[in-house]
Chain A
Amino acid sequence: MTAVADSTVKTKSRSKSSRPGTIALLLNNTLAATGLALLVLVCLIALAAPILPLPDPDVTAPAQRLLPPLSPDHLLGTDHLGRDLLSRLVWGTRVSLAVGLSATFIAAFFGSLIGLVAGYAGGRVDNVLMRGIDMVMAFPYILLALAIVAVLGPGLLNALYAIALVNIPFFARNIRGVALGLARREFVDAARLSGKTPIQILFTEILPNVMPVIVVTMSTTVGWMILETAGLSFLGLGAQPPQADLGSMLGEGRKILFTAPHVSIVPGLMIFVLVMSINLFGDGIRDVLDPRLRAGSLTRPVARTAVTRDPGKPVPAPGAEDRLLDIRGMKTEFQIGSSIYKAVGGVDLHLKEGECLGVVGESGSGKSVTAMSVMGMVPTPPGRIVEGAAYLDGEDLFAASDQRIRDLRGGSVAYVFQDPLSTLHPLFSIGHQLVEAIQAHQSLTKSQAQERAVELLSLVRIPNPKDRLSAYPHELSGGMRQRVCIAMALANQTKVIIADEPTTALDVTVQSQILSLLNRLRRERNAAILFITHDFGVVSALCDRVAVMYAGRIVETGTTEEVLNSPQHPYTAKLIECVPVLGEPDRRLDAIEGRPPLVNNLPDGCAFADRCPRVQAACRTADIDLVMSTPERGVRCLFPLKEDTKI
């Protein structure tokens, strides 16, 4: 450990000031801004009611009954008692707003409190509170409000209580869900170990994290609450004459619907405008406060990665004949906001028949993106392939038709992913999923395909394969699931298996079973494997050759023995040095200081320069090529280590 304090913080924080804040984001959203403007306008008018030059809303003038809109002195006309509609509208809006907002605050306060306590306390408290809430929720919402009004008697305040009360469960449930999740988070345990009391934890650790959810829930319920109180008044159970809110105006107008429709249309329109503006604004708030929406990650990825190769640049030609898979100068980027992440910045890899190539690198070095790019599996948006080519038996995959790619996926080229639980569909039996994979590429009947599925399961050594067909993924252990994934990858005439950290999520003993399974299968079937991992031990166990990735590029490649025994790139050497090895407990761990550069902000020249012990000025000037000493051995470094020196 050096004495120099680590003072680098992700560039993200540096650009913090340039990242738009919550308010700015909200205003950027046209719809939300429109909603907010409307809402503010309505609120201002309602607030200003006493000082506006309006006639008294409750003064009747029988002589002026049912004047149509745009009459002199009565812009919106009058109702059946001759009262000025505009004035009644403004005052009614005031009442509706006040009632809706108070109901929301009451419901939010009590509901959130119940939810917080239930979620944090858990166990019996949670059980009792939630059973009670369930009971209340077993009533249809409006019905319960009606029953409460029936008991309390009609009246605006009673309607307010009823609406607030029936919304408490809604808040309680939402907040409880979030609080429950938070209460299990490690920072809560940490706070406990910092000596905080449960009450302190609830209000200083959990509440701040729940606040956005409360705000979102409030913004989505205010609209309803206004609608529902208006509804009760409409039915004559809320505001009682002469007091009027929008709902009761509408209710009164209904009686003269056919003779004077404007009396009911006008207040209805006002309710609509009010609720619509609240909902627009509420959606805006939700979009801003919900981190998933904020990142724009709810965008639907399309079936295949976009390829935007510059037509002016020649596509690199395939290499030697015997290369089954040949990736040439491939670049894949992600566009997020205004920054471009060059996740893969020009990668060359190739695989011969029956060969196993390991790709090693730290997290974020672009291993997965490289693997996914080959068959266009990188999500677009935000990803796109911008340069290079991938040839399968000489065929340019990036130029192939969608139909052709579909035929190859799961056919000649199959994937095995990291987490076998999330990669299998939880709602289909594994038999169904296998049969589907088979039938996608071979015209077999269902029973033939099923037979084939049984064969595949026994091939990957799953006991009782016939019975297992009807099992669901959650019924299998992690190792079994990964075997199923491998069986699926072998369903058709597979030439290349792309395995992205297939054993990282597994225990060591299971990992070694899966590795030997893969090894046997590739020998039996002569399939090539592109094996992605971060573990040199795994590479040694399985791979013939290895490529080391750093910041989106291959920095060194060669046979497994060469790279492990005499690494030439300083990064490779350091990476091997810094991992503890079983059986060598006393070896000093040689940590690599600092961290890899971010791929949206790559330095000129060597990406490893900031961490490299051998760095010189020349390293930082220009792009460094991967220099191949033999067709299989290459290093991307100006001052590589000699064959026999170790750093």
Chain B
Amino acid sequence: MLPEFVFDASEGAALSAYILKRLLTAIPVLFGLTIIVFLIMAMIPGDPATAILGSYATPENVAKLNQDLGLDKTLVEQYFIWVGNLLQGDLGRSYTLNRPVLDEVLERFSATLILAGTALLLCSVLGLIAGIISAVRQYGWADKMITLLVLVGISTPSFWLGLLMILFFAVKVRLFPASGMYAIYGGGDLPDLLHHLAMPAFTLSVVATGVIARLTRTAMLEVLRQDYIRTARAKGLSERKVIYKHAFKAALVSVVPVIGIQAGFVIGGAVYIETVFQWPGIGSMLVTAISTRDLLLVQGGVLIVAASYVLFNLMADVVQSLLDPRLR
């Protein structure tokens, strides 16, 4: 995806050292995540066993869970036992679904990854293109259109937009299915998936596209005023090279981390979109789990989404360091 000029292959060694270092720093962050999630769960008022199992739990279940959770131990001990289990892939059992949390979470997460990944790709590409056009044609017709669209985009509640899309494209025009990931009968292949994916992925990407477009525009305009752009022009380079090579690369350095942050918004926004389009992802699972107070499921879901977000940001960081030698 990255053009040839982005980095020199000869810098492999320094780069892999940097990536390794960056990976190492992700460890304490992941560690911190588990502490926060653990503490949030520990903060639940009332008897944890009842809270986790819900008010319908039988006394035997409560007693067993209390023992399982080691609630007679100190908080610190409890935490390490919990993390130990976590590392072995044991996230407990969901009482509503009566299946291991990990299985459910992984299955749901893959659906979310498809949705959010597509949306992220869409918003990065569209956002960058729109931002560049907007900057290059500053104050022109295209810039004004894009600026307005961006403003509308970031002001529209995505769940409402989803409903409108369903009303129009599924009910009125009947172009796309209103809900689900695959057709109930005879679906299951890639075209079917894409058919189902189109509306939710687009809806999910709208806000992030707007944010990225805006930022790209500002970054480009900022960069185009820098002294090194003047130098590029003084060398007699063509405007094409000045804008799409010198300015774009520099602008990308400040846009990439924002794409990383937008990944968080896209994954989070999936909660709404999955609910609206009944996409069988982790977001809709979380909403159901919260209203049924299936807290082990909530815990598992939150953990995996947060961990994936950390990895997204890590990737953004690595891409940024590919672009910018000063960061290595």
Contacts and interface: CB of A to CB of B under 8 A. Distances in A.
Q: Per the CB under 8 Å rule, do A and B touch in the complex?
A: yes
Contacts of B264: 139-141
A291 B74 CA distance: 54
Interface string B231-244: 11111111101100
A403 to B, nearest CB: 9
Interface residues of A, number: 80
A470 B10 contact: yes
B242 A257 contact: no
Interface in B173-221: 218, 220-221
A148 B36 CA distance: 11
A436 B289 CA distance: 58
Interface string A416-447: 01010011111111001000110011000000
A305 to B, nearest CB: 11
Contact of A140 (B135, B289, B298, B306): B306
Contact of A150 (B224, B237, B295): B295
B324 A426 contact: yes
A272 interface: yes
B157 A303 contact: no
Interface of B is mostly: helix
Contacts of B275: 234-235
B225 A411 contact: no
Contact of A298 (B33, B218, B236): B218
Interface size on B, as a range, is 35 or more
B267 interface: yes
B8 A423 contact: no
A227 B155 CA distance: 8
Interface string A347-386: 0000000000000000000000000000101010000000
B302 A143 contact: yes
B129 interface: no
Nearest to A220: B154
A427 B157 contact: no
A409 B233 contact: yes
A429 B9 CA distance: 13
B163 interface: yes
A134 B306 CA distance: 13
Given A298-B222, A301-B224, A409-B234, A279 B291 contact: no
Given A237-B291, A419-B227, A425-B228, A140 B163 contact: no
A272 B295 contact: no
A268 B41 CA distance: 34
A423 B232 CA distance: 9
Contact of B237 (A236, A301, A436): A436
A235 B275 CA distance: 8
B198 to A, nearest CB: 19
A488 interface: yes
B323 interface: yes
Interface stretch (A47-55, A258-266, A322-330, A563-571): A258-266
B24 interface: no
A415 interface: yes
B228 A268 contact: no
Interface stretch (B15-23, B92-100, B246-254): B246-254
Contacts, number: 229
Contacts of B249: 427-428
Given A138-B29, A429-B8, A375 B234 contact: yes
Contacts of A235: 271-272, 275, 287
Contacts of A231: 157-159, 271-272
Nearest to A421: B227
Interface centre among B33, B272, B289 (most CB of A within 10 A): B272
Nearest to B269: A142
Nearest to B298: A150
B163 A268 contact: yes
Interface string A261-297: 1001100110110011011100100000000000001
Nearest to A403: B238
A457 interface: no
A415 B234 contact: yes
A141 B306 CA distance: 10
Contacts of B222: 298
A488 B10 CA distance: 23
Nearest to B148: A31
Given A147-B302, A283-B151, A425-B246, A139 B231 contact: no
A436 B245 CA distance: 11
A230 interface: yes
A150 B44 CA distance: 9
Contacts of A264: 160, 163
Contacts of B324: 426-427
A179 interface: no
Contacts of A278: 155
A258 B291 CA distance: 25
B295 A135 contact: no
B290 A154 contact: yes
B119 interface: no
B318 to A, nearest CB: 16
Contacts of A138: 29, 32-33, 306, 309-310, 313
A147 B293 CA distance: 11
A209 interface: no
Contacts of A425: 228, 231-232, 246, 250
A536 interface: no
Contact of B268 (A142, A280, A408): A142
A347 B324 CA distance: 42
B214 to A, nearest CB: 10
Given A407-B236, A427-B250, A272 B221 contact: no
B145 to A, nearest CB: 14
B316 interface: no
B164 interface: yes
Contact of B235 (A261, A280, A409, A427): A409
Contacts of A297: 225
B159 A408 contact: no
Nearest to A250: B160
B286 interface: yes
Interface string B250-268: 1001000000000111011
Contacts of B156: 272, 275
B230 interface: yes
A441 B40 contact: no
Contact of A268 (B160, B263, B272): B160
A299 interface: yes
A278 B157 CA distance: 14
Contact of A427 (B40, B227, B293, B325): B325
Given A299-B221, A406-B238, A425-B231, 6 more contacts: A143-B309, A147-B302, A231-B157, A275-B155, A297-B225, A425-B228
29 contacts: A139-B33, A140-B264, A140-B309, A143-B268, A146-B298, A150-B295, A151-B41, A223-B154, A234-B157, A237-B290, A264-B160, A268-B157, A268-B160, A275-B156, A276-B155, A298-B222, A299-B221, A303-B242, A377-B230, A406-B238, A410-B235, A410-B236, A417-B230, A426-B228, A427-B250, A428-B5, A428-B246, A436-B237, A470-B11
In the A-B complex, the 7 residue pairs with the smallest Cβ-Cβ separation, listed nearest first, are A142-B268, A268-B160, A410-B236, A140-B264, A410-B235, A409-B236, A276-B155
